[in-house]
Amino acid sequence: MDLTVKNYKNIYYPPGGILIWIIIFLELITFGMALIAMVFYGKDEPEIFHQSRLLLNTAYGAINTLFLITSGFFMAESLHYFKKGNVQKSIWFLKLTMLGGLLFLGLKSLEYYDKIEAGLTLSYNTFFSFYWMLTLFHVIHVLVGLVILCTVYLSLRKKQHQVNLEDFEAGAAFWHMCDLIWLLLFPIIYLIF
């Protein structure tokens, strides 16, 4: 297995390749624009947004933040051990990374169930329209991230360890993007309004 670490000194060759970073920047811009729109609409309906935010379970959001931050740490450790050639430790930390993602999805599903039971759906008001669109879009990213990490995991489990460093780094970068997006969503949706 070739674990040669390239010396990335050029902006055109960032860890994981330029394509993943173009995708990450586009995703961050998309989420950023949606958050700006949410703030804009929130200024038009401050009381509705404030009262709606109080209907959210901040503890769920905070615990999910811990799940994703911890998962991001495990992803960094997995990549670190992969670069060192310790595939077994890399696999262990990759499993912990995926567990963090699954815990996030499990708690988010419970939160969604509570909201639906309370009648706080997409059409309830403007705040909840943004809540559902932003958080569901993020959930889709977490699901895609888990599929990517599962693909890396299955490739690592093969006897030949058919994962190259660039693919591993691209998966890690995508996963960290999911963390970063949540770190933008959590305070704006759960704490500010």
Per-residue pLDDT tens over the stretch 172-186: 999 999 999 999 999
Structure tokens at 175: 């996963």
Q: Does a structural domain hold residue 7?
A: no
pLDDT of the residue at 5: 47
Flag whether 1 is in a domain: no
As for how many domains the chain has, the answer is: 1
pLDDT, one tens digit per residue, over 101-125 is 999 999 999 999 999 999 999 999 9
Q: Is residue 4 part of a domain?
A: no
**What CATH number is given to the structural domain containing 30?**
1.20.120.80
Q: Residue 74's CB: how many other CB atoms inside 10 A?
A: 21
Q: Which residues contact 147 (CB under 8 A, 6 or more apart)?
A: none
Cβ contact 1:157 at 8 Å: no
Q: Which residues of the chain have pLDDT under 70?
A: 1-16, 159-161, 193
- Report yes or no on 12 lying in a domain: no
Query: Which residues have a Cβ under 8 Å from the Cβ of 178 and sit 6 or more positions away?
Result: 68, 101, 138, 141, 142, 145
Q: Residue 192 has what pLDDT? A: 83
The answer to the question of residue 13 being in a domain is: no
What domain range includes position 170?
A: 18-192
Is 9 inside any structural domain?
no
Report yes or no on 75 lying in a domain: yes
Q: Write down the pLDDT at residue 2.
A: 45
